[in-house]
Amino acid sequence: MAEQHTPRSLIVTYYGAYGRESAGSVPVAALVRLLGAVGVDAPSVRSSVSRLKRRGFLVPGRTEEGAAGYALSPEARQLLDDGDRRIYEPPAPRLDDGWVLAVFSVPEPERHKRHLLRSRLARLGFGTAAPGVWIAPARLYDETRHTLERMHLGSYVDLFRGDHLGFTPTAEAVARWWDLAGIAKQHEEFLDLHEPVLRSWQAGRTVTPQDAYRDYLLALDSWRQLPYADPGLPAELLPEGWPGGRSAAVFGELHARLREAGAEFARS
């Protein structure tokens, strides 16, 4: 996880954290101020909003006062709602939960969709069990189905639930299906950047709404990538000293300490 807080990513993170509290549009001027608090200049905000509009993530509208603004599209709301379950409410993984398999076949004339499918499944946290066969913990089924339907890719994919019955021990198979070393590195990068921020708040730093908003939005922007890179495997399948629990605890405490204080700044 390269620590690059792009304007577009930060706008998505803002809407995920605070922008759903109002059913109406967020004024463009307010978006410029809100993103300015985390170091994004006005032209970058406006160009990123335009790209998110073209992608169908944001839809233009007017505030009650008549100012131009942008609201989430219904598809974007579902995307963020699905993400909430991963980002804020990850269940404790259990080995007996089983797996979901995605088996796909794409006709050669539409081979560009093969790459799209692979990249989307990877972003959902799937590992590769074999060519054309992708695997993830079974709890990711609903989100996977929503995503494939939203992207009109469902006709190329069959989804199955099942257990791993051998012959390779499951812990060894998991190490083939996912790049566990790469995922662990992303957790360590998150900890390197945001654990010192948490310690500064634990040391009695005065909580101001703008500081809380800035530190929370940057931590969330980093963290929200991790529950997708890391599918949340049972502890007995992971290497000793796995850093995922520690990084989740750091984000959880930052969320508990800063989210509501930051909301005061966002609402103002």
Asked if 166 and 157 touch (Cβ cutoff 8 Å), the reply is: no
Q: How far apart are CA 22 and CA 26, in angstroms?
A: 8
81-114 pLDDT, tens digit per residue, is: 888 888 987 777 888 889 999 998 888 878 788 8
In the chain, DSSP finds a helix count (H) and a strand count (E) of 11, 7
Q: Which amino acid is at 33?
A: R
Q: How far apart are CA 178 and CA 128, in angstroms?
A: 7
- pTM of this prediction? 0.85
205-248 pLDDT, tens digit per residue, is: 887 999 999 999 999 999 998 988 999 899 999 999 999 999 99
